[in-house]
Amino acid sequence: MTSLAPESATPEPAQFPNEADITSVRAALRSPRRLRIEVLGGLVVALALIPEAISFSIIAGVDPRVGLFASFTMAVSIAFLGGRPAMISAATGAVALVIAPVMRDHGFEYFIATVILAGILQVVLGVLGVARLMRFIPRSVMVGFVNALAILIFLAQIPHLTHVPWLVYPLVAAGIVVMVFLPRITKAVPAPLVAILAVTIFVAITSVTVPTVGDEGQLPDSLPSLFWPDVPWNLDTLRIIAPYAVAMALVGLLESLMTAKLVDDVTDTHSPKTREAWGQGVSNVITGFFGGMGGCAMIGQTMINVKASGARTRISTFLAGVFLLILVVGLGDLVGDIPMAALVAVMVMVSVGTLDWHSIHPKTLRRMPRSETLVMLSTVIVVVITHNLAIGVIVGVIVAMILFARRVAHFTTVKDVAHPDEDTKVYAVTGELFFASSNDLVYQFDYRGDPVNVIIDMTDSHIWDASTVATLDAITTKYARYGKTVQIVGLNASSAERHERLAGKLGGGH
């Protein structure tokens, strides 16, 4: 993927010789240069969070304060609780879409109760080890996830580029030019921050009229306070909020764990996914009790932090939340004057940097197996159509599983290998036997023409499921109808144990 980060934004090997130092808060506090990167990264992220949090609040049907306070509490709490340093969690569009019907049909109190229950479910799922399921997500799905994110980030900017004054376009272009060329001149500060300041100062000096952050919604003028949802805590309430809470918990975990894995790859470091899972849950519970709409990891702001700014520690995540609160509460009037064009330019560059350009290069597409490309494209298409990353990833995994099963199914062969005497015939079965590959196995034998004794040698095969055992039972039964006996030999220990336990007990030997 193309990186927006200047080379100097990446810690030098001499200064941070191992993974622990790269993400260490203590090491960053001892390094003025590293601390500056973390602080400025947090500031840029905070600026980028404001319009998105307001937009997601509108999607959910709640006051902008709900999204902004959720972004503050999520970022600050996940900085301590999460497993992936430098990843940004805040109010997100996916979560807003999932729980918006609760707000529409039942009101704010039930809305917050849903957020709290979703957080509790995420803690439970995290403790149960749901993060371990990440190993079953193929690389092609991950590439599709990344490319879909890049497309969604870009598409999210389109409303800010339509039906606007013509001056918006040169301002966006100017911001992009700053981010492309500034790192070649100086790398002292993140280029996105300079672009935001330059465009804002220009608009202030020239007094041109363009859409600003303040036009997105009213910013809060007070601190968040504790909130207890006034709902009946009974089964009726649970029936109302549980389906939405389950959906929010699953969507939030999937997006957060996928984003954490992406950050692992970008930074060449590893993070504990189980901690990230239950950390997301606790953060959502905290956010709910402060009247926030909940959320999960944010890919766009995370890429600003780790790629465009070069941040690597929890300091940047924590400061993103702190700066967000300071900006919207203490400096609301100034922040409201920031042109949306500046933030659009930043997000456009983030989408460019997020896209895995290598994966769509013609040479790569020619070299890559068609099945892998199909998995990647199916993930991208579903995400872009539904605007739901979780659905796209699930569909991608299902497509990958089907194609894998189809491919492996063709690796199984049955051969006539020996005739020890006129009454005996030996077949050799080769390959992995499971529901897809074993279904056709029953048609590979000559039940009528074979001699009375048939030996099936399975030395070079493996039984993986009950479907295969049922198939072997069917083969034995078909030979028995002609008065012939079957002897199955060569099973390895695992296959023999499964066959002995299930043979003749599945009720499908026909």
Q: Is the pTM of this model over 0.85?
A: no
pLDDT reported for residue 199: 94
Cα–Cα distances in Å, from 324 out to 72, 321, 358, 407?
6, 5, 35, 50
Average pLDDT over residues 233-240: 92
Give domain limits for the chain: 21-357, 413-502
CA distance 120 to 338: 37
**Model pLDDT, residue 3:** 39
Domain 413-502, what architecture?
2-Layer Sandwich (3.30)
Residue owning tokens 């456009």: 348
Examine the pLDDT at 160 and tell me if it is beyond 50: yes
What does the pLDDT look like over 189-206, one tens digit per residue? 778 888 989 999 999 999
The letter for the amino acid at 225 is S
Sequence-distant (6+) residues with CB within 8 A of 144 are 375, 376, 377, 378, 379, 380, 383, 392, 396
Higher per-residue pLDDT: 365 or 350 = 365
For residue 378, give both structure tokens.
């199916």
**What pLDDT, in 10s, does the model give residues 291-317?**
999 999 998 899 889 988 899 999 999
Give the whole-angstrom CA distance, residue 208 versus residue 232: 52
CA gap 160, 149 in Å, rounded: 18
**What's the mean pLDDT in 218-235?**
87
Residue 347: its pLDDT value, please? Answer: 83
